Amino acid sequence: MNHRLRLSTFMADRVWLPWATCGLLLLFGAYILAFAHLPKENRFFDLKLRQQELRCWEKGVYPNTHLYAPGVVEPGAHTVYPPTSLVQLWLVSPFKSFATNVRLFMALNTLAFIGISLYAWRLGSLAGRSGALFTMSAVWAMSATLSSVKSGHHGLMINALLILMSSAVMQRRGLWAGLAWTGAMIKPHVGLSFAAVLAARRQWLALATGLVVMGMLGWGACAYTGHTLMQVLEASYVKSSLSYASLGDTLVHVLTRLEFSHRAAVIVSAMTAMAILFPYLLSPCKDLPILVHLAAAGVAGRLGFYHLHVDDVMLTFLLLGLIENALRQRSSVAWGIVLAVGITVWTPQVFLVEIPGRSLRLIIWPLALLYLTLASLKRLNGLTNDAPKVPADGD
C-alpha cells in the first residue's frame, strides 16, 4: 500500500517530467540523425510514386493499368488512390521537376510540423512549461513523425489540416471545416474516418461541402482522361484484388493471415472502424471534447483501413488526449496508459518489426481509447475534481 502511495505521489508531483522530456528529445534527435544519413535514393519513395502517377495523368492517361491495354500505363504509374485525390495530390506536387516538388513538400511539412507543435504545446500548457514541453516532445518523438517525411507521405500535412478542421468546427464555421476535411482526404484511407468528427458535432454543412467538392474533383480528374467516375472506381476497387491492403501492421494483415480473402478482410476491417466510431455519434459521447473525437477517428481509421507504419501519425491525437488527461488526473494509472501507447508509437520501426507479437498494438490502441473516453465522460459529468494545480517548480 505504501509503495502505491509513493508511486502516486511521485507521479502527481511530476518531478520526473523534465527527465522524460529530455529522453524524448534525445530520441527525436536520433531520428533526425538517421534521416540526415539516409542515402538520397532511399528518401521520398512515396513522393516518387506520386510523381510518376501525376505526370501520367497530366498527359491525359488515367494512372490505372486496368483501364488500358498492357503497356499504355507503366506499372510504376499505377495508382491505388481514388480519383478524388488526384487533383489534391497535383496541388502539392505540380512541377515536372521532382527536386522542385521535394522542396515544396518539405516547405509544407515544415509549416505542418510547426502547427502541430503549437497545438501540442497549447494542450500541455495546462501544466505549465514543463507540461507543454513534454507534450510537444512526445509528438516529435513518434517514430512515424519523421518517417512520414522521409518516405514522402502527407501525414503531417493531414494532421495539420485536421487541427484546422477541429478549430473551424469549434467556431461553427462549417464551410471552412468542410474544406479542411477535403484537404485531409488527399489520403482517403487516412482522412475518411475523421468525417465522424463532423457527424458527431452535427456539422452537416461541412460534410456536404466536403462531399460536393470531392465529387467535383473526382469527376474532373476522370473526365480529363475521357473516363467516367464509375469506370475508374470499378477499375480501382472491383477489378483490383486489393492485395496491397494487407501490407503493414494492420487488422487487414491479421485477418489475411487467418485465411480471410483480401476483399473480405478489407470489409471486416472497415466494419470494425464503423463499430468503433458509432457510439461517438450518439449521446453522451457526442458531447465529448473534440480531441477525444479526433482520437477515436484516428484509432478507428488506423485499425479499419490499409496503412503502413508511417500512418501511425494518425495516432497523434490519441497520444495527445491521453497526455492531457494524465496531466489533469495526475494519477499513476493515467500515466501508465500514456506509457503503454507511447511505447507503441515511439519505438523505432527498425526495432518494432523485430518484436514478436507487435500486432498487440492493435489491441492496446482501442483499449487506450476506451480508457480516455471513460475518463472524459467522468469529467464531462463532473464526477472528478481534477483541475490542474500550479506546478511546484513555478513553471
Q: Is residue 395, in this structure, part of any structural domain at all?
A: no
**Measured between alpha carbons, how far is residue 296 from residues 60, 153, 180, 197, 208 in Å?**
39, 22, 18, 9, 22
Distance CA 292, CA 321 (A): 6
As a whole number, mean pLDDT of residues 329-335 equals 88
The proportion of the chain whose per-residue pLDDT surpasses 90, expressed as a percent, equals 64
Sign of CA dihedral 158, 31, 350, 24: negative
Q: Over the stretch 51-76, which tens digit does the pLDDT of each residue have?
A: 999 999 999 999 988 888 788 888 77
Q: Structural domain of residue 53, as residue ranges?
A: 16-380
Give the type of residue at 272: T
Flag whether pLDDT at 98 surpasses 60.
yes
3-class DSSP assignment, residue 382 = coil
Q: Is residue 270, in this structure, part of any structural domain at all?
A: yes
Q: Is residue 4, in this structure, part of any structural domain at all?
A: no
Report the candidate in 355, 346, 356 with the shortest Cα–Cα distance to residue 142.
Answer: 346
Q: Are 386 and 330 in contact (CB under 8 A)?
A: yes
Among the residue ranges 41-55, 128-142, 186-200, the one predicted with the least confidence is 41-55
Q: Are 164 and 47 in contact (CB under 8 A)?
A: no
Per the structure, the count of domains in the chain is 1
- CA-CA-CA-CA dihedral for 346, 347, 353, 356, to nearest 10: -110
Q: Is residue 137, in this structure, part of any structural domain at all?
A: yes
Q: Is residue 94, in this structure, part of any structural domain at all?
A: yes
Q: Are 240 and 66 in contact (CB under 8 A)?
A: yes
Q: Is residue 387, in this structure, part of any structural domain at all?
A: no
Q: Is residue 394, in this structure, part of any structural domain at all?
A: no
Q: Quick one: cell of 343?
A: 511505447
Q: Is residue 8, in this structure, part of any structural domain at all?
A: no
